[in-house]
Structure 1
């Protein structure tokens, strides 16, 4: 991670004001936006004074950082952030989020708690719920926020659609974080019906459903079903009390040797699990995001909540895609323009300009592909294509203009001596035309031998010869040594030389146009290659997203069948089949490549048609 994005200590990301309004911290947003690495986001949520901050400090590899507090007063207000280099994954950033304690008696605002809870779900890739005591009915009752999750988070923007709850649930499952329950100050034995069990078994036992359709049973089952339906994986850690109660308010200052060994072991296992198993934060479509995109998410969600609306995942991702793809287009174009300016010294030959264009275009594509996402039908990619192509054609025109100007000035300089002799009457003598002709041939020879003239040398020479025709005719007619027949033959040879030079000029121009056509084919081939790679990447993202959701549903169905909930398991079959049949959007790359080719042909076709018409007009 770059030094300027490294955070020595936590800072507030989302402030919860005294009036209960959530406000984004612009400085934290700026810092988060500078993180180019893929982010793994871990949030810890729970009621105040349950030790959330201690776990986060351990994840940060520190004993201090997030405020622990030592009284019954809640210390963390809003959501605090600590960005750290990931200890196990290169090129990844571990973003730790410490949320304001739920149920703060000073706040007395359950709605505010709900928004803090939903923001933690929306922003994190691993959601840690921290509680004290045991996983029992009382603990589940406190998780009523999960039961209201679909009221706090909207997945799709089109409410008017006839999308059923199953579809909404599936879409939420695809982007939901992994769920970890950290049970603190656990004093019981991990036994069920007299048998030793793991912490995960203990969690699953606590999430078992009751049979029946009574109101009491439905109320009992609701938070448990929500955890099963909204989180694609579940994990549990049970922690004994870290030390004697008299030292609890100083736990961050105690050495590991002063803590309960069992507590230390579980802390280590918890951290290792988070480091190794927590996945990068991803958004709809399976796209993994960096700090900049996470900052956009946070700002969008907070602004939506502040406006009194419910955060919509689809709308937020669409807005983010517009921001990021627009920036990717402008960044790709700026890179192309900068590199062409650095690498191309005008005037240059058509082949050299085309070579640099291909190299810089490839780099522009790579920049765009790296920074863009969710580019529907590659609309932004084609914007970049058109803008780069337009700039390249402008460079072609500029190169020709610079070449023409340079060649014209060179010919004027080389013919200065001829002009002087003409003014002095040097050629107005018998045999003067032959001397004049030799002097002009020497000018042409020197012109041809001068390097770096660009791709308009032949046309510039053709214009020069045509401009000097009256001058040559004057010298020819004044030469008394030549007969009328000699003069006629000399004039014919002069016209033939001019025609030959004009043919060379047209050949030079046609060569440039043909090179543009060759460029078009090369760039199209590159487009197809990069589009295939991008589509394959998106297809893999979608497959990963769908596989995680499908695996979660299959596992849940299996557990329901084992526990005798055949009806509920059967009801999940439709969701499972839907996940199996969903197609990704990567299959339409051939259509997109055709659109890209059409854009290229339109841009270059108009340019070359215009040039061809100018050539025909000269004939």
Structure 2
């Protein structure tokens, strides 16, 4: 698998590509070429989307973020140029080994298109896919500008957090956890930043524009609705105001050198880019799991497929679907890693302890590979697959190592016994004194055998089997010996039995050591899985707590703001959400280690089969 670095992406994407396109029938679809680009790299991504009315200079601002004078096409007429959503992947200017993914969306409110539903979906996709959402508008923040942002009022109808059909007030907390930072860019701004005669900054200007009015009349409710939605869904807000970049020839602005632009515009662009580059977070799933380029493509495909089927994109469904794909891939990746490392490090035949040590190292690293990629493996279903797969691979290696050891040992004994076989055929051992010569030659052969390196784990077992098969041969030579009395032959026979029994005991010790090592492997595997599982659960719990804490801070800040303006009823509703969120935090703390399972049962059935194979060798010898 080829993994692209930030530099590779810059070379691969010198210009943007269409990411989500409008088909001729009006439906949305993900561009295959864009998916292929995203699927090729595994770096975390920071995703910045821009939305707003058509012909308001969105593409030009995105080119500034890219650090380029040209890239996203600007167009030079009143007709909207960008269709669908265009994507540009670049190395992040401040975060090594991260990618900055810029998404330039089709202009909203294009009169030639006349499809408000398409605008809604484009807006919803920008929200779902980004970690920072830039809203671009012209002139000032007034009621007209806010009304044009009516898409935000429909978010609960366009995006579901949970798989249930109905929206609940409690779901607003979940939106807080996953929605992007909101940046409002006001273009061609020509007013003084003053409120009631007092100079204010851009953020104060935005917050003043989002203040709610008291009352329950229809007019007040219509006034408050877009403001309340922005306050609810985007607690992290920022504002930038830009003067007109040039006095005239705006249609050629991309070709005008920076030094000829209005320097106030240039400075604000630089401030805007600095803020976005420094504060935009890595895109994460609900629960804090980091999104890579590959996963971003999967998310987009999941959301667009839901829209195409007539359904509403659901975050839980998308995450669950992605978890299945990613966890299955994590199993394969860990399994492949283990196999490759074992093939590289194990030189067979090898000794039991050496093989076990290498296995322990590779197994630990393979589990780390799995844990790094997997997420939401709530019932450890995929971790069990990894455990079983690695165990089976290890036992296959053990059996292969065992077989190679058998073949090596049998070959050595056959080679070392050639001279003895020749003497036996020539009748040398049946002559007077032949038995003593036979014993000396056999002891020499055994000494050579013991001295030979690389015999592996079956050295004593195979030697015991060899001596057992030679027992009748030795007995015949002893009985034919003329120099020994019957008493001496009886003593020699007992010594033969003792020698064989000594070797059988060595073989038994060798096998028992192998069985003991299998049990140690089983114990170590179980402990390592539990250790890494605990670390994973702690990590996920910390991410959930961080996510909940950020949402809590946002709610408390909003509660303070509405209380200062006298909205007591609204503050009480926020207090209910705060208490609910605190309850979630307590559940997260209490449930941190729920679901930890014991792998002993899984491993026992696997390793029992290995023990049965191992003990069969010594059983054959003892017979």
TM-score range, shorter chain: over 0.9
Deviations 1:140-159 (A, max 9, x none): 11111111111111111133
Q: Is 1:214 aligned to 2:220, yes or no? A: no
SS in 1 for 2:55: coil
**CA spacing shift, 1:589–1:575, aligned 2, 3 Å:** closer
Maintained 8 Å contact 1:177/1:232:
no
Per-residue CA deviation, residues 444-463 of structure 1 (Å, 9 max, x unaligned), is 11100001100100000010
CA separation of 1:297/1:586 partners in 2, compared to 1, >3 Å: closer, same or farther? farther
Check whether the contact 1:40–1:278 (CA below 8 A) recurs between aligned residues. yes
Closer, same or farther: CA 591–385 of 1 in aligned 2, 3 Å: farther
Decide whether the 8 Å contact of 2:6 with 2:99 is kept in 1.
no
Moved more, 50-59 or 202-211: 202-211
Q: Shift in Å at residue 488 of structure 1?
A: 2.2
What runs of 5+ residues in structure 1 fail to find an aligned partner? none
CA distance in 2, matches of 1:589, 1:506: 46
Give the Cα–Cα distance (whole angstroms) in 2 for the partners of residues 193 and 602 of structure 1: 78
Deviation at 1:487, TM superposition (A): 2.1
Q: Mapping of 1:395-434 within 5 angstroms?
A: 395-434=397-436
From 8, 28, 40, the equivalent of 1:22 is: 28
Match of 2:566 in 1: 564
- Is 1:335 aligned to residue 342 of structure 2? no
- Aligned in 2, Cα 1:223/1:354: closer, same or farther, shift over 3 Å? same
1:4 to 8, 11, 15: 8
SS in 1 for 2:353: helix
- The answer as to 2:229 corresponding to 1:226 is yes
Greater CA drift, 109-118 or 489-498: 489-498
Distance 1:3 1:190, change over 3 A: closer
CA positional deviation for 1:164: 5.9
- 1:543 paired with 2:549, answer no
- Relative to structure 1, is the Cα distance of residues 544 and 14 closer, same or farther in structure 2, using a 3 angstrom cutoff? same
Hey, what's the Cα distance between the residues in 2 that align with 1:539 and 1:590?
Answer: 9
- Give runs of aligned pairs for residues 229-240 of structure 1, distance below 5 A: 229-240=232-243
CA apart distance, 1:333? 0.8
Q: Alpha-carbon deviation of 1:576?
A: 0.5
What residue in structure 1 maps to residue 102 of structure 2? Answer: 96
Q: Distance in 2 between matches of 1:454 and 1:28?
A: 53
Write the mapping of 1:127-166 to structure 2, written as runs, cut at 5 A: 127-159=133-165, 165-166=168-169
Is the 1:129–1:180 Cα contact (8 Å) retained in structure 2? yes
Greater CA drift, 482-491 or 261-270: 482-491
Aligned partners of 2:146 and 2:227 also within 8 Å: yes
Instruction: Select which of 112, 115, 134 maps to 2:118.
Output: 112
Match among 169, 173, 176 for residue 173 of structure 1: 176
The 2-side partners of 1:124 and 1:305 are apart by 18
Q: Which has the larger displacement, 85-94 or 310-319?
A: 85-94
Q: Residues 248 and 541 from structure 1, CA distance in 2 versus in 1: closer, same or farther, beyond 3 angstroms?
A: same
8 A Cα contact 1:538 1:586, kept in partner = no
Retained in 2: the 8 A contact 1:535–1:586?
no
1:479 is aligned, of 470, 478, 481, to 481
CA distance in 1, matches of 2:154, 2:235: 18
- In structure 2, how many angstroms separate the alpha carbons of the residues matched to 1:597 and 1:373? 23
Query: How far is the alpha carbon of 1:613 from its aligned partner?
Result: 7.5
1:53-452 residue pairs with structure 2 within 5 A? 53-159=59-165, 165-244=168-247, 246-452=248-454
Distance 2:549 2:588 in 1: 16
1-structure distance, mates of 2:287, 2:577: 18
Secondary structure at 1:129's aligned position in 2? Answer: strand
Question: Is it true that 1:522 corresponds to 2:524 in the alignment?
Answer: yes
Provide closer, same or farther for how the CA distance between residues 381 and 198 of structure 1 changes in structure 2, counting only shifts above 3 A. Answer: same
Range with greater deviation from structure 2 (472-481 or 163-172): 163-172
1:552 aligns to what? 554
Rounded Cα–Cα distance in structure 1 between residues aligned with 2:602 and 2:169:
41
Query: Does the C-alpha gap of structure 1 residues 214 and 613 become closer, same or farther in structure 2, counting only changes over 3 Å?
Result: farther
Give the superposition deviation at 1:19. Answer: 2.2
> Higher mean Cα deviation, 148-157 or 474-483?
474-483
Deviation digits for residues 294-338 of structure 1 (CA, Å, limit 9, x no counterpart): 111011111111222111110000011111111111100110011
C-alpha separation between the residues in 1 aligned to 2:588 and 2:429?
78
Instruction: Please say which of residues 598-607 and 404-413 is displaced more in the overlay.
Output: 598-607
RMSD: 1.8
Query: What do residues 137-189 of structure 1 show as CA deviations (whole Å, max 9, x unaligned)?
Result: 11111111111111111111133xxx762221111221100111111111221
Contact 1:5 1:32 in 2 (8 A): no
CA distance in 1, matches of 2:580, 2:384: 32
State the aligned residue count: 615
> For the residues of structure 1 that align with 2:171 and 2:9, how far apart are their CA atoms?
36
Q: Residue in 2 aligned with 1:608?
A: 611
**Any unmatched runs of 5+ in structure 2?**
none
Q: CA deviation at 1:604?
A: 3.1
Which has the larger displacement, 127-136 or 574-583? 574-583
Q: CA deviation at 1:383?
A: 1.8
TM-score (norm 1): 0.96
**8 Å Cα contact 1:176/1:232 also seen in 2:** no
The question of 1:37 aligning with 2:37 is answered no
Kept in 1, the 8 Å contact 2:458–2:510? The answer is: yes
- For 2:120 and 2:316, locate their aligned partners in 1 and report how far apart those are by CA, in whole Å: 20
Shift of 1:18: 2.7
Write the distance in 2 (CA, Å) between the matches of 1:549 and 1:541: 12
Distance 1:104 1:273 in 2: 30
